[in-house]
A and B are shown apart, each in its own frame.
Chain A
Amino acid sequence: MGLEIVDDIRKDYVHDLIGSGKRVDGRGFREYREISVERDVIKRAEGSARVKIGNTDVLVGIKLEPGEPFPDAPDEGVIITNAEFVPLASPEFESGPPDENSVQLARVVDRGIRGSEAIDLEKLCIEEGEKVWIVFIDIHILDNDGNLVDAAALGAIASLMNIRIPNERYDLTGENTLPMRDTPVAVTTVEIEGNILVDPNFNEENAATSRLTVISNADGTISAMQKSGSGGLKEEEIVEMVEIGIEKAGEIREKFL
């Protein structure tokens, strides 16, 4: 009960500020928090990246293991994306099986990568119908100050961009690198008091009734979208959010990928 009241006060505060043209942390409506991408941070992983967007801190690790292909795609590797909202990252996170938010996050990041066809799945075939590389993209949230999707998606593509295929470990031969064919970047916006804000922090995320993630590719096409939250959006707002999404993705791609 007590916490709910504090929540309401925070929401009102965020709304009042935005109504007068300001954000809680002094940013412009179209401005990201400071982003940093650190690559190859985990020695044991085939690829990894730690992405910080403001106080939000996400670690993505990629592991590759040989496994069986799907029967309907015998010569293609498999991508499996998973997200863990570990309890160290936020008082809201609890240990236990993945909840709907972590499932959604993983699936949206996965769709962005899949839709862009960044990974050439046929290059991950070891023996048709028998053995292919399974690419495990594991998203580990370390600190949740909002906008986990953008951080996770950026971490995923940054890690994928320099993965080493562990042929030796499994007594296999072949290429050790896997060049990416595209660089999907996620941009999340929220609507508050008729304004569209990019990169919502935790308080803004809670104050907004709906948010939209747009994942777009190097050529400006869209590879995934997801509206989230118990509110609605107008057509004009969505169109604007998509425009902002594509534009901001371009800036992030140029700077960090």
Chain B
Amino acid sequence: MKEGKEKIELIKEGKRLDGRGFDELRPIKIEVGVLKRADGSCYFELGDNKVIAAVYGPREMHPRHAQDAKMAVVKFRYNMAPFSVDDRKRPGPDRRSVEISKVSREALDPVIMREYYPKTAIDVYVEILQSDAGTRTAGINAASVALADAGIPMKDLVSSIAVGKIGGEVVLDLNAMEDNHGEADMPVAMVSRTNTITLLQMDGRLEKEEFERGLKLAMRACHQIYELQRTALIDRYSESVDVGEGEA
């Protein structure tokens, strides 16, 4: 995420370049159970971001010395497809993806009832197929739904979105253009039922007041995303338990 040099006007007449208002999300599309082999999966679109998450487990933990005698270990792998960005991304983990994997896992850990499955591993794999800023938040949203789809006991879903500052304004859900030329970026993840923040990162430059306003904006959007995640899961599972109009 390098800062662009040339000044681009990101806000014109109170609207963003893609026509959105300051507190408006990009369109979201969620599909549950899209992969056959995985125990749980989810396809998630946030504007031009396309990500897919798969969950395997609980299953045997390898290597064994990394097992936890008291609870399951969640392993999270965030990976970008080489073709997901303008300049081809070299395959394999880099420092950015190592960090994102860590904070994403820590964003999900608080809701997963890991103590039910001691000594096991729960593998969460997130693949970024197409990127337009906000991939880690899309990945967390997808992973959270995929975990539920895998039947992993959870206290709640986790919902995630970034806020940032562009053209002097605090706005919701930056796209790549806004992220590259903006002043600050702050991804947030939240557990809706308890309003608990499980991921918070920031870089750029923000006044304390702007930060507080941004956090509120993100939290409100997380509630919105939460409803979409719930609806997607309910839709998926009400189909499969449909027994018709009282016919045997």
Contact = CB atoms under 8 A, between A and B. Distances in A.
Interface of A: 1, 4, 70, 72-73, 98, 100-101, 103-104, 106-107, 111, 114-117, 209-210, 212, 217, 220-235, 238-239, 242-243, 246
A211 B54 CA distance: 28
Given A115-B204, A225-B201, A246-B208, A232 B98 contact: no
A220 B208 contact: yes
A116 B202 CA distance: 12
Interface stretch (B33-41, B169-177, B211-219): B211-219
Given A227-B201, A239-B212, A233 B106 contact: no
B207 A72 contact: no
Contacts of A212: 200
Given A115-B203, A238-B215, 19 more contacts: A1-B69, A72-B5, A73-B2, A101-B102, A114-B203, A212-B200, A221-B205, A221-B206, A221-B208, A225-B201, A227-B197, A227-B198, A227-B200, A227-B201, A230-B109, A231-B109, A234-B197, A235-B219, A243-B208
A220 B208 CA distance: 8
Nearest to A209: B110
Contact of A238 (B4, B69, B96, B197): B197
B103 interface: yes
B211 A242 contact: yes
A225 B103 CA distance: 12
A209 B197 CA distance: 12
Interface string B122-134: 0000000000000
Max chain A C-beta neighbours (<10 A), residue from B95, B96, B195: B95
21 contacts: A1-B69, A100-B98, A100-B101, A100-B102, A104-B98, A104-B99, A104-B102, A104-B103, A221-B205, A224-B202, A227-B106, A227-B199, A230-B105, A230-B110, A231-B110, A232-B110, A232-B194, A232-B196, A235-B216, A235-B219, A239-B215
B186 interface: yes
A111 B110 contact: no
B52 interface: no
B215 A222 contact: no
A135 to B, nearest CB: 15
Given A73-B2, A100-B102, A222-B202, A235 B95 contact: no
A224 B207 contact: no
Nearest to A232: B196
B157 interface: no
Contacts of B96: 107
A72 B4 contact: yes
A72 B205 contact: no
B211 to A, nearest CB: 6
The bracket for how many chain B residues form the interface is 35 or more
B208 A4 contact: no
B200 A4 contact: no
B203 A103 contact: no
B145 interface: no
Contact of B202 (A1, A217, A225, A233): A225
A229 B200 CA distance: 11
B53 interface: no
Q: Which 6 A-B pairs have the closest CB atoms?
A: A232-B196, A230-B109, A225-B202, A227-B200, A111-B203, A100-B102
A209 B2 CA distance: 32
A106 B98 CA distance: 12
A49 B161 CA distance: 38
A134 to B, nearest CB: 15
Contacts of A209: 110
B138 interface: no
A4 B69 contact: yes
A245 B96 CA distance: 25
Given A73-B5, A230-B106, A225 B200 contact: yes
Given A103-B99, A107-B95, A232-B194, A222 B200 contact: no
Interface in B81-127: 95-96, 98-99, 101-103, 105-106, 109-110
A225 B208 contact: no
B103 A227 contact: yes
A12 to B, nearest CB: 14
B99 A100 contact: yes
B180 to A, nearest CB: 9
B197 A72 contact: no
Contacts of A242: 208, 211-212
Nearest to A182: B205
B205 A226 contact: no
B146 interface: no
